[in-house]
Amino acid sequence: MRIAIVTLPLHTNYGGILQAYALKTYLESMGHQATVLDREVKMPLPALWKAPFVYAKRALQCLTKGAAGPEVFREIRFRREFPAVSANTQRFVDEMIAPRMIKRFKDVREDEYDAFIVGSDQVWRPRYFGRIEDAFLDFARDWDVLRVAYAASFGTDQLEYEYMQVQECASLLEKFNGVSVREDVGVQMCQEWFDCETAVQVLDPVMLVDASVYKAMAASVKEHPAEGKLVTYILDKSKEKANVLDFMVRVSGLQVHDLSPVTERSLPLAERVVPPLEAWLAGFADAGFVVTDSFHGCVLSILLHKPFVAVGNSMRGMARLQSLLVRFGLDMRLVHGIDPEDDGEFFLSQPDWDAVDAVLAEERIKSGSFLSEALRK
């Protein structure tokens, strides 16, 4: 079967790239021909008539707010630097995923695919996807194709849709042959907001693929600077997270290897180039311990059997981490802060990986069955 995967744009987000690779790989293992639809990463310039006012307003904000103010010419800098910043991750995307680049979903024709799968990642979050109706296959509303949502995520337990978007997306969701979400709260949101009573929870695609695949990718890199170290992968820095990290460094006695994205725009371009995805995987594979606020950071820690602490990330939605960790009986590893009197013994101890793997095996069967059944309708 010819299947098109509708997901978030593949740029420099490791988790987003890895989940797209994993879903494509899993579908191909089922005997399907899978194509990831990718969109150009764009930051359009302000209209000519509007540009002077936009730039002047930003400049004034910089004068009043200092470093906290907006970057005046951010679109120009982005267009100039993004090809270099994303060169390593783009190589993985081109070689391992080989997506079809489109400018808009309306460029896709009905006779090109037999089925469309929406997911995974926060594909149902308007602030990330763009025109959210297309994440519910609005562009294909009258086509004779199979429609499946696989591990689609709202990213949060708060609905971020406008009223008319809810009505439109609910109508589109009625056409789906199978609906699955990544978080347990997503099932409830489908029921309460979109009148969809058939939604089920399934695994993130990254967890459908055996850990040996990621270990092989990690082993392909020449250097392994994270060997036995405390690896940190923090997407949104804060004082609380810094305190958790400092605590774990103190109680573990391990050196730190930081995999966190570099966001300081004042640094030289060479220091802001995103490392290869394989090097990122190697960081987790080689780690002695992991501190992360990332959903996929937790996923890899589980798959690769690394003791870890997950630090609450309210900016990106707590429901994602809570749902994942509760499912595997690891919710006590999710913290918002650390008691300075704690000796850290619980966090440094190895989880019951046999129990975790038993849950993983069961969930893989359930998730695979969902996909098989949805693609047979």
Domain 2-43+81-207+362-374 superfamily per CATH: Glycogen Phosphorylase B; (3.40.50.2000)
Edge-to-edge strand order for the sheet containing 146-152?
100-102, 33-39, 2-6, 115-118, 146-152, 178-181, 200-201
Res 299 pLDDT > 90: yes
Lowest mean pLDDT among 176-180, 230-234, 312-316, 342-346: 312-316
Residue 266: the pLDDT is: 81
Residues 6+ apart with CB under 8 A from 36: 4, 5, 7, 10, 20, 23, 24, 97, 98, 99, 100
Burial of residue 341 (CB within 10 Å: 0-12, 13-18, 19+) is exposed
Amino acid letter, 243: N
Quickly count: other Cβ atoms within 10 Å of residue 105's Cβ. 20
Q: Per-residue pLDDT for 317 more than 70?
A: no
- Mean pLDDT of the 7-34 span: 97
CA distance 168 to 131: 12
According to DSSP, residue 128 is labeled H
What value does the mean pLDDT take over residues 262-287?
93
Residue 8 has pLDDT above 90, yes or no: yes
Percent of the chain with pLDDT over 70: 99
**N residues, the chain:** 377
Strands (E), 56-145: 100-102, 115-118
Report whether 23 contacts 54 (CB < 8 A): no
Confidence of residue 129 (pLDDT cuts 50, 70, 90): very high
Q: Is the pLDDT of residue 203 over 70?
A: yes
| Strand segments (E) across the chain | 2-6, 33-39, 100-102, 115-118, 146-152, 178-181, 200-201, 230-233, 256-258, 289-292, 308-311, 334-335
pLDDT of residue 306: 98
The reported pLDDT for the residue numbered 351 is: 97
Q: What is residue 336's predicted lDDT score, i.e. its pLDDT?
A: 86
Geometric angle at alpha carbon 212, from 317 and 295, rounded to 5°: 5
Mind listing the pLDDT tens digit for each residue in 84-108? 999 999 999 999 999 999 999 999 9
Distance of alpha carbon 324 from alpha carbon 364, whole angstroms: 14
CATH 3.40.50.2000 in the chain is located at 2-43+81-207+362-374
pLDDT of residue 253: 96
The average confidence (pLDDT) of the chain is: 94
pLDDT band at 77 (very low <50, low <70, confident <90, very high): confident
Confidence of residue 41 (pLDDT cuts 50, 70, 90): confident
Query: Which whole number is the average pLDDT over 223-239?
Result: 95
CA distance 168 to 229: 49
The highest-level CATH class for domain 210-353 is alpha beta
